[in-house]
Structure formats: C-alpha cells, structure tokens
Structure 1
C-alpha cells in the first residue's frame, strides 16, 4: 500500500500530478528513486510530443555577474501567457541565463538553444542543458523554446534592464572610469531610453556603410518623386537623414526624460566619463 505521505513527497520532488506519482510509486513498489526515474521517462516522452507545438508567448530574461563584467539576455518562449508568468518558467529562464554566463565557450557570442543544448549544465554536471529543458517541459506542461540569446563580456561594464512583466529587455556594455551610484543612474536612464525608443545604432559612425548608402538612395528617390530640382536633392537628403538619425541612433535621439536634450547631451551634462559601447534590445516575438 502506497501512503499519501509518500505520494506527496514524490510530487514535491518532481512537480508531477498526484495520480502520476501514485502510479509511479506502485510500479516501483515504493522505491522513491525508481519512481522518480519512471516519472522522468514518462515526462520526457510527453515533452517530445509537446515539442512541436507553437510558442508565441514568453519572457525576456537577463543576468549580470557580480562584477558587472559579464551579461546575458535571452528570450524564452512558451505557448500561453499564463505559463509565461509561472514561477518555474521564470526560474528556468534565469537558470539558462546563468548557464550561458558561466560557460567560457559562450563568451561574446549569440545563438539559439541548439548552440548550448549539448553543454553540461553549469549548476548540475550530471545533466545537459537539453535534459533540464525537457524535464521542465514535462513539469510545466507546455512546449518551451529558447529562441535567442546574447552574451557580452565587457572591457568596461554591463547593465541590464527588463521592463514590466518581461516583454522587453535591454543589455548594454559601457565604459567609465569607475562604478558609482551616479554612473549606475546614467546607465539605467540609457537602458530605459533603449527599451522605450528602440534605437538600432549607438552612433552615426556605427551605422554600417551599406545601410547608410541604402537610406540615402531611398531618400534621394523619394525627393525626386516629390519633383524637387536635381541640384537640391543632396542638400534635402542631408536634412532628411537628420530625422533618420533621431529615430534610429541612440545618442541622437531626444532624451525621454527631457526631450529638448539628446541622449548625447544628457550623458555629457552628467559630467561623467561614460561611453556606450554596444547594446541589444529584445522584445518577445520580434526576432
């Protein structure tokens, strides 16, 4: 006879349903370890079935090392908004972010689940990342997909921000003389700017030449179609490019807290030696 207490213990250890735990214990004749193995096998089999289901919901998760030298941002997807708020799902996202941050071969890389699936899990060398995710799929009951991740290893420092319930996140690398509350306040203001205003480049100089040339061609053709004289097109295009910079370039954007200033002016007026090196902005479903 399998006691209710034993069933409860197995449920707490595995997260499986009461009936599944009872059946596993009966099959294992009360052997807890064997019952766990039975549940894992069954769970993984269910996970394989769930793996084909579409994942449209999810969260953005970040992790920054204590010394602020390593930062990770990732998008973990699931099937429903309900699971996206689930404590176990959020914890899985954080475990994956920490794993990416702790494995040397992931340094300054970006990728998807396939790039880390066969790595030995940093927090449990007895299993691979793939095993942990499959076990989570079985426990949570939905398909889960790590769609993308980026890791920064900084010469300076990294700063991360996740907005609200995790739909938008930012990871930024910056250089400064030393860390202070004032520096961290500026870093936070800048990542809030990135989250809200969706810039694509740090500075005009960082825009790839082919992107800039394409934009100039488009603006020139638009100007011609407006009937402007050919000798004025170049000057008109230069004016229109300023608007493009204000939309796409972080340092040229109006600062969200004080729109009469640009982000560049805000940083300059802080009096700090603060330089944005690079950033990535993730939004759920926008990859």
Structure 2
C-alpha cells in the first residue's frame, strides 16, 4: 500500500479544507497524485451534494462588504443545514471570502460562475459540501452601488445591511455606520412613504378607521384621524422618518440634515436569517 506522508496530507488539507482522514484516504487511493486526490475529494463533494439536494439549508452566515472605494457593496449569504456548521470558523471564513470576491459582480448567477482558485464558485460550494457533510447554498446575493456605500454585519452573522448615499463628504463613514446599524436594528419596511405600496397604505388606513369606529368616533372625523395614525405608521416603518437609534429626539431625516443638508439616502438592503 502507498505510504502517505504528513506533509502531503497537510498540503491537501490546506488546498481543499477536507479532514485529515479524507485527505489521507484520497492520497492513498491515487498513489500520492495530488491533482487526482483533489478531483477525488471534489467527486465526493458532488456525491454528497446530490444525496442532500432535497435538504433544507436554512442556517448559515451573512456577510456584508464594501469595496475599498466605498462605492459598491454586497451581502452574501452562505447557507447550510445546521447552526453547528454555521458557527464553524472555516464556514464563516468561506462566507467572508465569497463576499470579498463578489464585490465585482452585480448578479448572483454571474457570481456562481465566477472563478475562485481553479474552479467556479458553484463548484466550490459542491467541494465544500464534501468537507462539511451538509448541503451548502448561496442563499443571498444583494448588490448596491452608490457614490458612498456603508455596510454592517451584526454579531453572529444573522443580519447584514447595506446603505447608499448620494454624496461622500468628510465624516460620512460614521453616518454610514450609524444608519447601517439603524437598518439592522429597526428593520424599516421602506425608505420613505412613497416607497410603500398603495394597497398597504389603504389597508393600514382601513384598520385605523375600523378601530376608530369601535371607539365611537363619528364617521366624518375618521379620515382626518386615520391620516394622523398613518403618520405614526410612517414614523415606525419608513427609514427616513424613524427615530434615530442613538438619539430618540431626532428622526433619521433630521440626523442627516444636521450632518449635511445636501446628502440623501439612495437605497438600502437588509437581509436576516
């Protein structure tokens, strides 16, 4: 039987992330041929991926990253089957690696076909399925481009956000950090009331009117009072009107105006597992 050395095993482990015994077995089977051993481990990943294709991959890690110019941001979600794998350091390291590489792509399908080493991202996920023994999936891919983009990944990698701004004046880094955290914490439904659907607004208005009727308010007063309740709904559910989490006396709009009267939020993204 071919005798595998520790150096060979360590080299294969670093290259593939596979376990010691898997690397040793693969190298033994192919008589120490490094490239063939890699192919063998990838085939193992393909087999496991096929066997687990119907499994639910609802756990995982979310990572938000911004490019060095601060103009493009991505949220990548690497999904797996169990929280045990999601908390593994190698798993989160892979999620960060994918997010870093994703910054030059705007589309999930394009990114899955992108190279990562000598293989594609899609093939990398299959390869790593063989390593961890669970179904892996790129569950989230969000891209945002703006004159300035900030990101936030919440501790535990279960919530990630991006937020874009129209300009990038001095000090915008702190504003971006604050409001990326605002989006994570307060989970707004939309940026402004204009971004909410007409159906949702009408539904909220009818709910308010029905509550007012039960309180005995006269019919001719319902519309005006309901409009007041809608304003409260906007203040809770639209980012620009929410109370700023670091100073509840300010709205997000006022916080921005106090920083720079010309700046505006262009868009935001929020993903949670």
Does structure 1 retain, via aligned residues, the 8 Å contact 2:164–2:268? yes
2: distance between equivalents of 1:14 and 1:59? 20
2: distance between equivalents of 1:40 and 1:97? 22
The unaligned stretches of length 5 or more in structure 1 are none
Cα 1:222/1:74, change in 2 over 3 Å: farther
Q: 2:240 aligns with which of 251, 258, 277?
A: 251
Shift of 1:158: 1.0
Dislocated runs of 4+, deviation >4 Å? none
Shift of 1:116: 4.2
The unaligned stretches of length 5 or more in structure 2 are none
Cα 1:158/1:83, change in 2 over 3 Å: same
Does structure 2 retain, via aligned residues, the 8 Å contact 1:203–1:251? yes
TM-score by structure 2 length? 0.89
Does structure 1 retain, via aligned residues, the 8 Å contact 2:45–2:128? no
Aligned length: 271
1: distance between equivalents of 2:218 and 2:261? 46
Which residue is equivalent to 1:171? 162
Give the superposed CA RMSD: 2.2
Does structure 1 retain, via aligned residues, the 8 Å contact 2:190–2:238? yes
The 5-angstrom pairing of residues 175-254 of structure 1 reads 175-176=166-167, 178-180=168-170, 182-254=171-243
1: distance between equivalents of 2:11 and 2:112? 31
TM-score by structure 1 length? 0.85
The 5-angstrom pairing of residues 1-287 of structure 1 reads 1-5=2-6, 6-103=8-105, 106=106, 115-116=109-110, 119-121=113-115, 123-124=116-117, 126-154=118-146, 156-176=147-167, 178-180=168-170, 182-271=171-260, 273-284=262-273
Could you give the per-residue CA deviations for residues 232-266 of structure 1, whole angstroms, max 9, x where no partner exists? 10111011112101110112111111112211112
